[in-house]
Structure 1
Amino acid sequence: MSYAIIGFGKIGQALARAFARSGIEVSVATTRDPTSFASDAAAIGPQIVPKTLAEAVKADVIFLAVRFAAHADVAKALPTWQGKTIVDVTNAYGVPPEDLGGLPSAKVVAQAFTGGRVVKGFNHLGAGVLGQDPAVHGGRRVVFLASDDEDAAGEIGDLAEKLGFAPVDLGGLSEGGQLVHGHGKTWGKLIFKDLVKFG
């Protein structure tokens, strides 16, 4: 299984730290030349491999860690996303609900990534918290996952555990996804909830 993070801002780097801590190789890409962020990647660890966007989207699992408005541009990188799992880490806070057509933002992302299996996840924590070691007080920091594809949610749940987190499946994008969905001037009820699972 190969992994990539698209977007290498604060959230992308926080995710990269999680992969590096666990010794799992992950490609990182932006729309910029990889040499422009190679030193930032190297500072996190040797497992973080800068690539072009075209190279990075060859991965099996792709973490979408760009601004919500940029998701459609990333989706154009491939004609179909069949066989790939996209982890939607974006937040649409500030985007008017009417621009989303009344849908949760992850549903809008799913429409753009034709054929891909979309899992909403890792988006409810700020970068500062997400980038920390998820082992906390003898427990593990919770990450919420929502997907209309149970197999994809299970796959990302397994990966979350390898990264040291405690995954909590919220169900489908229209139900559980609403709990970790920001739009307009409102945040979902679980956004910014820093929870720890014990046992």
Structure 2
Amino acid sequence: MSYAIVGFGAVGQALAHAFARNNIEVAVASRRPPEALAPQARAIGTTVVAKSLRDALDADTIILAVPFGEHREVARALPSWQGKTIIDATNAFGVLPEELDGLPSSAFVAKSFAGAKLVKGFNHLVAAILAADPVVEGGHRVVFMSGDDEDAITPVASLAKQLGFAPIKLGKLDGGGALVHARGRTWGALIFKDLFKKEQ
């Protein structure tokens, strides 16, 4: 399985730290050329490789870490998304529900990536927490995930575990997934819940 992070701002870099910490190779890309990203990528870790957007999209699993309004621009970079898994780490905070055709934000994003399997995940942790070791205070930081394709959620949950997080599946995007989707200027009910401890 190959991975890429599209978007190399605070969230994209935080996710790159998580991959580097676990020695998992990941491509990183943004609108900037790869040579502009390369010094920061190398500083994060040797498994973080700056690539052009087009080359990064050769990955099997792509984490979308761009501002919400830029997802269409990323989607136009490939003629077909068949066979790809998109992990939507964006947040539509401040976007009016009517601008999303009444859909959960990730269902709206999915329309631009026709043929791909889409899973909402890694969107509710602020960058500083996402970049830090998720094993803390005797527990694990949580990654909530939701999607309309169960076959896609399972490997994303496995990736979250590899990165040290505790994955929690919330079901379909319009059900449990709504608990972590921003709606207008309101955050989902679980958006700032992030620590899981097993009972002794």
TM-score by length of 2: 0.97
Aligned to 1:30: 30
The Cα of 1:95 is off from its aligned counterpart by 0.8
Aligned to 1:170: 170
The amino acid that maps onto 2:188 is G
Where do 5+ consecutive residues of structure 1 fail to align?
A: none
Aligned to 2:155: 155
Where do 5+ consecutive residues of structure 2 fail to align?
A: none
The Cα of 1:138 is off from its aligned counterpart by 2.4
Seq. identity, %: 59
Aligned to 1:101: 101
RMSD: 0.9
Query: What SS class does the counterpart of residue 120 from structure 2 fall into?
Result: strand
Aligned to 2:61: 61
Q: Is 1:124–2:103 an aligned residue pair?
A: no
Stretch deviating more after TM superposition (133-142 or 26-35): 133-142
Q: Distance in 2 between matches of 1:185 and 1:195?
A: 24
The Cα of 1:175 is off from its aligned counterpart by 0.7
Q: Distance in 1 between matches of 2:8 and 2:176?
A: 27
TM-score by length of 1: 0.98
Query: What SS class does the counterpart of residue 178 from structure 1 fall into?
Result: helix
The Cα of 1:196 is off from its aligned counterpart by 2.1
User: Contact 2:125/2:191 (CA < 8 Å) preserved in 1?
Assistant: yes
The Cα of 1:48 is off from its aligned counterpart by 0.3
The Cα of 1:129 is off from its aligned counterpart by 0.8
Aligned to 2:183: 183
Aligned to 1:80: 80
The amino acid that maps onto 2:5 is I
Q: Distance in 2 between matches of 1:49 and 1:198?
A: 35
Tell me which stretches of 4 or more aligned residues in structure 1 moved more than 3 Å. none
Q: Distance in 1 between matches of 2:60 and 2:95?
A: 29
The Cα of 1:194 is off from its aligned counterpart by 2.1
Q: Deviations over 1:26-63 (max 9, x none)?
A: 00000111111211111100000000000000100000
Q: Distance in 2 between matches of 1:11 and 1:183?
A: 20
Query: What SS class does the counterpart of residue 8 from structure 2 fall into?
Result: coil
The Cα of 1:134 is off from its aligned counterpart by 0.5
Aligned to 2:134: 134
